[in-house]
Structure 1
Amino acid sequence: MGTPIRVLVVDDSAFARKVLREVLSKQPGIVVVDIARDGLDALEKIAEHHPDVVVLDLVMPHLDGIGVLRALPTTGAPAVVAVSISDAESELGKKALAYGAVDLVQKPTSLATDRLYELSNDLVVRVLAAAQTRRSMAPEMEAPAVQPSLHSTSLVVVGASTGGPQALTRLFTSLPRDFPVPVVAALHIPAGYTDALARRMDEASAVSVKEVTDEQELSPGLVILARGGTHVRVERRAGRPYACTEEGHIEALHRPSVDLLFRSAADAFGAGALGIVLTGMGDDGLAGARAIHAAGGRLLVESESSCVVYGMPRCVREAGLAIGEATIDKMSELLLRHVA
């Protein structure tokens, strides 16, 4: 018997996860390595288990199935079989296939009933076919050696948490006055602290450092710090970059969210986005880093030796997304080499 097909099941419904896991586990040659409750959980489990196939619900909280597809790397990613109440001809189904799902299985019902078992045969057939397709393509999908990007950097986004105020200060105060692109940073910090922090950084820096204001146009040499307790995203309007605040309800563990900032950079600037993940606890920024990587952008991380907590940068490094790392004292030098 050959190597078993390793499958990750992703669905926000506990009953659906039970049914999908049961159906697939009964099939010889298939092993369900884990389950995930939503898109963010899925990206963590994919990085942990490296499954051959992901069975992916499309409508989920926190990060939906389309968000997962967009965050997957362009090479070496698992094959994805979408499972949805929508069919392949629906707008959602077409979008899933456009973003890389190899197939779609329609759920017979959105309710937690035994009717879900009706998809059993169809699901197994399509998972087997997806795994075969992925394995037959494996020699062509091996990631090439990292090469310098052919795209110039349009925007730098930075994320930090524990130890972040000191790390950001050391990074921004070492940037030259003629730094050629805008910088936007998200730091896990309570409301009420970032204005004073930005002012101190600005006084000590050659670049201009400011706390974000909504609908703020960005320019080279301007560093924007997200307001504590408020999300920030970046947009492109008529070719010009803007930072926008978001105070409404967004499902994110941290506010500001590094993932939200990084994903918006990937959406708006694609291969022109460069992300930097500095010291911090947890994994905020990992999903966003995947989005930047998938869009052709680049990621740098702080080295363990200078981190107060080596959590956030470690997640990005171990996921194979970073093209370079440096201590915080050397980060500006590394950054300048990649800003072209």
Structure 2
Amino acid sequence: MSDVQTKKIRVLVVDDSAFARKVVRQVLERAGDIEVLDIARDGLEALEKIVALSPDVVTLDLMMPGLDGLAVLEALPPINPPRVVVVSSLGADTELGAAALAAGAIDLVEKPTTQATDRLYEVAERLLEGVRIAARAGSGTARARAVPIRVPEPSGRPQVDAVLIGASTGGPQALSRLLPLLPAEFPVPIAVVVHMPPGYTAALAGRLDAQCSLDVVEAHDGMVFVRGMIALAPPGAHFGLERASVGLRVRLDYHRAPGELHHPSVDAMFVSAAQVLGARAL
């Protein structure tokens, strides 16, 4: 077996709770493909050990005293940063989770509340899945510099009727960099399918809406799809389009075929747009 095949995922565990650090470390070390390099008790120690150890993946609690998890995400080195899996007691705070995803977190794993820390072992499989997903994600070589997008002066009707964007791992961060650059006069509506943990799409849409000149919304079935809008597919529904008397409408399909990996699916959105718009879809 080659070195590439046997290389373990190198992980740094960051949490201000001693019990949480212990459980996360035990869960990860029981997996044959993961090596826990060290632990960090707060954000400052985490950044120091990230520089010293260059881990592949960091499991990160968001709610820590002093330098919290969001501050750690924003302070990661710009060249080849580690991939981050948030392991935190978010509860109903989807805004905080969406902020972490937009700041570059690859995945979110819900940690039981401090009143039920013994239940940490119950999320073991989800934790291992998150670390492996993060390890497979490319870290990138450098963070992009924001450059405003200039839209040419219109010369008649646009050559396309809609722009479609598909984003997978790391998608929320990419969207938070790209979409705010689009001007209010962008000539066609934009549809987005992004793979992210369930329950955070609406919060991400709200966060992007506050940053963008265009209106960013979570799509709903039957909504009119018009210029000036960026519509994010909701969790559990394929995003489709249909022509109507008012122009274009969104059609959401909540049926999930056996064995289907992603719902919503980028491919399903592209197929629908090709059927409805043909060459006028970009």
TM range, smaller chain: 0.3 to 0.5
**TM-score w.r.t. length of structure 1:** 0.39
